Each structure stands twice: as C-alpha cells, then as structure tokens.
Amino acid sequence: MSDRRQESYAVRLEAAELARSRQHPTHEANGDEQRYADSKYFMSFTKGLPHNEETGLLQDPQDFVEFRRAIDDGFIDPFTDRVRHGAKFQVQGGQVVPVACPPDNFRQWEAPTAGVVYELQGPDPQAVTMPPAPPLLNETGNVNPELVLEMAEVYELAILRDQPFNAFENGRSNTEIEGAIARLNNLSYVENQTGRPRKVNVESGQFDAQTLFRGSSPGVEVGPYLSQFLMIGNTDVNGGGHVADGKVTYGVLEIDQRVPIAKPCVDYMTDMESYVAAQRGLRPDGEGYVPADNSGKSRAARRFISTPRDLATYVHYDALYEAYLNACIILLGMGTPFDPAFDHLSGVGVAAGSGQTRRNAGGFALYGGPHILNLVTEVATRALKAVRFQKFNSHIRLRPEALAARIELVRRFDSLSETAKQNVSPKLLHAMGKFSEALKANGTLHEIYNLTQKSGPKEGTYLLPMAFPEGSPMHPAYGAGHATVAGACVTILKAFFDTNAVLAKSGDTVAFKTLAHGDQAVLFRAPEVVDTYTSDASCEAAKLIECESDKFLTLEGELNKLAANISIGRDMAGVHYFSDYFDSLRMGEEIAIGILEEQALTYSTDPFVLSVPTFDGDVVRIGNR
C-alpha cells in the first residue's frame, strides 16, 4: 500500500473510532497512543461539510470519510457526486438533511486535485515534503506547548490588528503591544523552543517589540517591521519621481503601493451563527472599506500599509507573486548589482558600468531582467501545486478559526442542548479542556473574550476574530500557499541579485547597492497614523517618511522580511499558524532551488555561479563552473 493510501486509511480508521465513541459515550480511550491518534483527528480540516449549529463541529464523520476518498481519487467530479457540501445540506434535529433552496454562489473547495499533477521542470508536487504540523497533544497525552504558543500568537495578532506597525520596534511605547508580549512570554515554549524557532531578544531569551511576529530568517529583526519592498517605489523612465512616492513603474505604467483601508475594529465570525455559516461554505457579504469621499460610489481611501489589518487586506486579494514581482521591478530599476559570479553576463550589472569591463554582448533573455522576471512568476505555480499536495493529500490540517471554535465549545458546553451534547466526543472535550487551560492561564482568552464582547450585542466568546467575513479559504491550513510562493519567489531573487547589497543614499539617489565610501544608511516608514481606530479617510498620505538609520538594511534581510511579512500577514488575518509559514517557506525554497539546478544544466555556454542564501542562513551554490 502506498504511503498516501496508508495515511488515508489511518484517518478513516480514526473517523470510524470517533463515530463509535459518539455512539457509546462511555467508551474510554485505551492508552496514550489512542489519545494521540484521536487528537490528530480533532485537528482535521472539515470546512465546507455540514456542521452542527450548536457545537460548530462536523455532524457526520462519514462526510469526512467521503471527502478524503474524493481527495484520494484525484478528480474534481467526486467532490460533487459523493461529498455533501454544507451549503446544500444542513443539520436539523441532529440529522443532516438537504437544504430546500441551496444558494448558487456557495464557496468551492480550492484546487484539491492540483497536487497530483506532474511537472516537466523542477520537482514534482509530490517530491517535496513537510514534517507533521504541531499536534494538539504529544505522544504522552499532554498539551503540546508549541501549538499553544502558535494559537496564542494568532489570538494576539487579532487583538493587535489595528495597532500601528511603527510601534513594533524597541524604543516605542504601546501598552497593547506590551500586554501581548507579556502574555506570550508567559508561555513555556518561548524559553524552551524544541520545534520551530522564533526570534527573541538575545539577552533575555524572550519576545520584545523588535522580535515579536518577525519570522525566523536572518535580518528579519533588523529595522522596521515591514520590508521596504512593501512601501518604496522606483524612479520613472525619465528619472523622475522618488522611492518615497511608493510608485512602482512597470515600463510606462505605474503601481501604487498604498492599499485600501478596511474599516477598523470590524472583525468577523465572533458568534457561533456566523462561524457555522462560514464552515458550511456559505458565501457572506464582503468586508467594508473607508470611502475616499462622501459620494457613496468612490473607490476606497488608500494609505501605505500601517497596521496588521492593512497587511491582512493586502494578502486577501494579492496575485500571489505580486510582492516579489514588485521587488524585482524595483531592484532592476535601481540598477541593483547581480550576483558577482555572473554579473558580467547580465549586460546591465556593475561590470557594464565601466568601459574597461563592459562586454560587447550582454544578457536579457539569459541572465538579464526578463529571465529573472519570468522565473519569479514561473515558480509560483509550482509552489502552489506542491503545497496543495501537502494541504489535501498529506496533512489536511484544520484552520485556526476551527481550533478556536473547539476552545469556545468547551466554554459553552453546559449550555448546549442534550441532543447537541451527544454529538460531542468526550475525548475531544477532555483534550480541548486541557488546551484551553493553558491559554486561560496566560490571559490570552480573557482578552479575546473582552474583544469579542465589544464587537457585537451578544456575550463575548473565545472564537477567533477574523479579518475576512468568510474566514479562511476553502482548503486546509498546512502548508500555506502564500508562504510557499514567498519561499520560491524570494529564493529566485536571492539567486540573481547580490544579497550583500545595502539600502543606501548616495547624493540624492537611494538604492540597494554595493556599499561605497560616503554612503548613508537610510530607511522609509509609513506616515504615523494618529488614530488607527478612526474611519476618517484623512489618514491618507502621499509620501513615505525618509529616516536616517543606525545600520544599513541588507538586501538579504529585506527579502527575508518580505517573505515573512506576506506569510505572517495571513496569520494577522486569522487564517494561518506560524508553523504554516515556517515549513512552507522552506518547501518553496526547495522548489525554486530544484528549478534553478535543472535550468543550470541547460546553460552550456558561459561559466556562472548563483549563490543562494537560504532561510536558515546557509548558502547553496548552483552553476556551471
């Protein structure tokens, strides 16, 4: 039996065991091994299937079994022919029954068959892997501290969604951020990181404002929270404009880095009714935005990314490679040097700047701008296919919104009807009770209860406040599409450009360049937003603020930061965990390196070397030497 079939068979056995435990509530787990197996089932993705309105849980385990069978089949039609969609079926009186008038525009599962295709370049989607995600319980049946931390992080990011990014740095004062830091530092995993590492203060070994939610790769903790590539622009074709304008020129066209302003303090899915509707795959109305004027029909007001909510808005609608394509356009426009080991082949690098070293022939289709631009976009589709195999065929991990709903279920279990209580596994209730206690002890759940109480007329809950009305996408959490694409695209940029370049000001020119005598360290920030809680569009600003810096920002650090920003921006929306970012980023890197290695075999002319700094701080060298 193949590994994939074995895994699917094991999940089906777990579903059958859960069904038996529901039929016989007095059935007890038989040892630590069974508790561990049950906890894996409790962490499975079920969005889009019929869910119970009281418990928020999948009503019939057989729906999950059929969902897995459709995944294993690898074709689109079984998801319609055999799987009951939650928009077409609902729970009434403890039974799953057809909806009389199902909506036409329900949400579909997204590309569940994409991972079983093959590629003619680079690794096949099934050839790259990710380790298991942090389980609910470890092998001894105890709460897993790594998962406790990453669920706390998602909760805390929801609490801080309208705080200014400019406050996420040491030396700034912000009581909300300081409170989140204190609560997270109370969790045991921070000082005993046995799994995926977080950046912490090197002296205290704990989070501070400079390391909080920063990611894990070299340079991400240096300077402002946001990568310069999410703010700056470049000069026009005639040399006009300035990087502080935030305008990225595509030939003669122009892209504005400012984003629409989503209405502050408006979160979604904080009550069981809207949560269950989202789990059933019903499509809600869209989110609201601050209007640019009072005409009622104008476009939304825009500003440079200033808060976690702004970044969540960016990663809600982005074409997945756009941040990296923007970065590539910016670097090419700045004349940023290529990797020194093939700079002379590009035709536009440092060697081309001197008559003594300028060749009579150069790159373009090979080693030049179009080559890089093509690869930045080309690797994205490979990354998406590979991560779909991990999502659907391997891990099928539930989203943070669903884990929060299980925490809320423990809180309100006594208020459920007797019929609903019978649909809740005692094992699930016991495991989630232990998990909830860890998040109560550090104060995170108390803050979430207060936040959700403010957001509506009903009582507070432990549900995760979401930035998007629909919550997460209709596919499992692990790995993350944005993070896998980030890892692949940023790796291409690292391979072609000189990652030792620094952001510097020489005279009136600002660029990522080779450091020279007289260069000044510089960085750019979004304008200070006086009140991030206002719906007033007056917070729009035309330019970034240019600041002196006490150290030079490196290209490697800002690219690593860009990948972390985009990936963790999805955590800020509530749709991913830290481990989704961490492992997916590295899988994307592996995909890009595989494509670069295969392409290198076809370049039979000039000797060259691509030096690729990895997200773990190593260097991979690819080329024909």
- pLDDT tens-digit map of 145-202: 999 999 999 999 999 999 999 999 998 989 999 999 999 999 999 999 999 999 999 9
Instruction: Count the Cβ atoms, other than its own, within 10 Å of residue 165.
Output: 23
pTM over 0.85, yes/no: yes
Per-residue pLDDT reduced to its tens digit, 574-619 = 999 999 999 999 999 999 999 999 999 988 888 889 999 999 999 9
* Alpha helices in 130-201, H assignment, sequence order: 145-159, 175-185
Residue 261, phi-psi category: left (phi > 0), alpha (psi -120 to 50), beta (remainder): beta
Q: Looking at residue 240, what is its pLDDT?
A: 83
Who has greater pLDDT, 144 or 294? Answer: 144
Per-residue pLDDT reduced to its tens digit, 385-400 = 999 999 999 999 999 9
Name the pLDDT band for 42 (thresholds 50, 70, 90).
Answer: confident
Q: Is the pLDDT of residue 3 over 60?
A: no
Window from 58-72, 267-281, 350-364 with minimum mean pLDDT: 350-364
Do 213 and 220 contact (CB within 8 A), yes or no?
A: no
Active site residue 482: yes
Active site residue 430: no
Structural domain boundaries of the chain?
105-625
Name the pLDDT band for 381 (thresholds 50, 70, 90).
Answer: very high
389: three-class secondary structure by DSSP = helix
289: three-class secondary structure by DSSP = strand
Token pair, residue 108, equals: 């579909």
Q: Looking at residue 501, what is its pLDDT?
A: 97
Q: Is the dihedral of CA 448, 450, 455, 458 positive or negative?
A: positive
Q: What is the mean pLDDT of residues 509-535?
A: 87
For 354, counting Cβ atoms within 10 Å of its Cβ (0-12 exposed, 13-18 middle, 19+ buried), the class is: exposed
Q: Looking at residue 539, what is its pLDDT?
A: 52
Q: Is the pLDDT of residue 238 over 70?
A: yes
Q: Is the pLDDT of residue 21 over 80?
A: no
Q: What is the mean pLDDT of residues 424-442?
A: 94
Q: Is the pLDDT of residue 14 over 60?
A: no
Q: Looking at residue 295, what is its pLDDT?
A: 66
Q: What is the mean pLDDT of residues 300-323?
A: 96
Angstrom distance (rounded) from CA 154 to CA 574? 6
291: three-class secondary structure by DSSP = strand
Q: Looking at residue 191, what is its pLDDT?
A: 94
Q: Is the pLDDT of residue 514 over 60?
A: yes
Q: pLDDT above 70 covers what percent of the chain?
A: 91
Residue type, 305: I
Instruction: Count the Cβ atoms, other than its own, within 10 Å of residue 374.
Output: 12
Q: What is the mean pLDDT of residues 415-433?
A: 93
Catalytic residue among 24, 482, 517, 576: 482
Token pair, residue 356, equals: 């003594």
For 139, counting Cβ atoms within 10 Å of its Cβ (0-12 exposed, 13-18 middle, 19+ buried), the class is: exposed
Q: Looking at residue 363, what is its pLDDT?
A: 86
Write out the DSSP string of 196-240.
S-----TTTSS--TTTTT--SSTTTTSS-SS-GGGT-----TTS-
Report the mean per-residue pLDDT for the chain: 90
Name the pLDDT band for 16 (thresholds 50, 70, 90).
Answer: very low
Angle of CA points 343, 345, 347, to nearest 5°: 90
116: three-class secondary structure by DSSP = helix
* Helical axes 481-496 vs 578-600, angle rounded to 10°: 40
Q: pLDDT above 90 covers what percent of the chain?
A: 78
CATH number of 105-625: 1.10.606.10
* Strongest mean pLDDT among 349-353, 357-361, 392-396: 392-396
Residue 76, phi-psi category: left (phi > 0), alpha (psi -120 to 50), beta (remainder): alpha
Per-residue pLDDT reduced to its tens digit, 131-142 = 999 999 887 889
Q: Looking at residue 292, what is its pLDDT?
A: 85
Angstrom distance (rounded) from CA 528 to CA 39? 45
Name the pLDDT band for 223 (thresholds 50, 70, 90).
Answer: very high
Bridge-based pairing of strands 509-513 and 247-250 is: unpaired
Q: What is the mean pLDDT of residues 16-38?
A: 44
CA of residue 90 relative to chain centroid, distance: 31
Do 484 and 588 contact (CB within 8 A), yes or no?
A: yes
Q: Looking at residue 11, what is its pLDDT?
A: 44
Q: Is the pLDDT of residue 15 over 50?
A: no
Closest to 50 measured CA to CA, from 208, 347, 330, 281: 281
Total H helices, total E strands in the chain: 18, 12
Q: Is the pLDDT of residue 436 over 80?
A: yes
Angstrom distance (rounded) from CA 496 to CA 492? 6
Name the pLDDT band for 236 (thresholds 50, 70, 90).
Answer: confident
Per-residue pLDDT reduced to its tens digit, 524-546 = 999 988 665 565 544 556 799 99
Do 593 and 492 contact (CB within 8 A), yes or no?
A: no
Who has greater pLDDT, 380 or 171? Answer: 380
Closest to 144 measured CA to CA, from 345, 438, 367, 346: 438
Torsion, CA 144, CA 145, CA 146, CA 149, rounded to 10: 130
Q: To which residue do tokens 């929270």 refer?
A: 225
Q: Is the pLDDT of residue 204 over 60?
A: yes
331: three-class secondary structure by DSSP = helix
Token pair, residue 589, equals: 């890197």
Catalytic residue among 85, 242, 475, 576: 475
Instruction: Count the Cβ atoms, other than its own, within 10 Å of residue 16.
Output: 13
Q: Looking at residue 314, what is its pLDDT?
A: 98
